[in-house]
Structure 1
């Protein structure tokens, strides 16, 4: 099936009507698009190869990580992964970043311990980012490793194992700073660990004390925030840590509050299904400087489905815009689906995150806030409901058109061509 694209006159005509209708509500669509254009989404490299990395190709995932599906054409090496990413960036309006995990190092075939990783092991990624104008964010990889086999890393009771993971995270912070210095945009180095227990523990305090000490050691070296910014990420549970996770939301929130400048990561798939990240943003930002959003889609107890234009995705972006938090919010994606075309998954998720943000920017926020302050909740509700039928899609279409990316579902035509010309050759 081939998807058709509206003609430029059709796009402009629809936008002219939309612009007029939004102006009647006091919304400047041009200003909304200009604000959106300044936002860089950090794409997660691991969608392209099912979180495999290049350390031990073909090794099974461990540490609460699982990718399902076997759609043909996944990236088998760094050059293929970069080629796939290049296509995704061409299908997205705006200029965006890359979120890279430590296991995507290129060591020339040499065995390099994770605690011995250095900037030179990511030189090709840095050259690629410079050529494409992408910032890079970075993550230690504290899973799928023999020293994480029992589900503990920075909270491990064995000092030697704990030291290995401390040194790995220290190395990653230095690599992040190298990226930020070379690219002229701060790298966010985000620490997530799988530490926890499958069954109910007797000692909940001890592992958390060890984790706090490990983090203190990791973050002891001062790095220029113009080059590297540190973040920590919580999770409710993982495979093998169903009953207890050391790095809970409460743990990391307290830790971030007590360490000024530390960024708190809120992953939309890392909470109980009845908890909403959108409800946490305004509270958290009263006490921490910045947040990192990992936009994902939880489905029951699975945390990493492709982002859709769901109520929660929209609510998250509304909170960011309504609170004036956009300058303090770093937005990245975190999902991996191997059951569908991986490039399409990236593109669909990223475009939905951007569309949700555009929807939020097209709200008459000041007018809604004024109605709320004077107690006219009737008008507030009426206006919020009317906004759902506004022609925001025409604004999105012209935004894509002006950025020279496919309008509507026609992006899938390019994905299918790439699949036939490139991905098909990767079949076993």
Structure 2
């Protein structure tokens, strides 16, 4: 309801001067947001679920760039918004919804709601991921871009494109949308592989069914008329249905001849090839999908499949939440991966040996990295090796001044 109230309050009025946005390729910028054809495949669903599960682990931060240094702005309204985007979603829920929409439609839209303060500046109140059925880009006489959303219930609204966070996946041919020239997922090549996979699965199912059909014949050593034959067949069927021991009792006139059913299933190599061919479309390997991966395999998966999406998501949120002036002061939203995502226990020890030796981490950081709770008495304490601490304490004032070049004031003057 908050989102609907916001849209009704700030949506652009109908304007006869509004026209379709101009596109260099000559297409009319109306895009249907349906891309469900391939998602009946369990392999596709597992691959996307694997990507989304990992991407929900990101930690978004409002930072301010100060030269080459990044300063976290922990008490800002933007950071509180990133911690809980709206009243119904946790941070993980929000990103899960956004990334599912991104992979389903190759486009994800987020509407930031806001109020104006006394100075006329925006004060953001929530972030809502939306799921439109149709998207149309419009343009006013001044060239300002607008976007028209249509939803499943028939509701339509027009917003300024600058008021919308738009994340695009596989942004190539179309000027405005991710996907193919029509702003939709291009699944033609993948559908051929999925059809082949479905054919193989159907073949396996039919082979299994045939193994439960006719397994043998009964040969009678006497001539029987039709009536007796039908009676004997029913008797055999009844015995088969009631037999629990695996043995079929027959009289001396009948002989059971088993049929040698050789069921030819698809070999494991072929099935693995098909699965990997489907998974390659999403940049997910079988070890990643099953969870049986090495550090090197996961690092390759992160750099190839996750990192580009994490980067462009942070950039899209930055573009939608900050003015040009705010971005000029270095404000940005950066999504950081789960801490120490690639490291086993031995590698964590090696890393913290380096960090502690250089005095580059807090004591509670060391504890939490190894699964221990942070202690209140250690808050704000830098972790530093005893050898370095003693060496620092034993230095004379003259040595410290020589190493540091003397003290400087705020203007950098000695």
Same topology, TM > 0.5: no
Bigger share in strand: 2
TM class, shorter-length:
under 0.3
Determine which structure has more spread, i.e. the larger CA radius of gyration: 2
Which structure has the higher relative contact order (CA within 8 Å, separation 6+)?
A: 1
Normalising by structure 1, we get a TM-score of 0.21
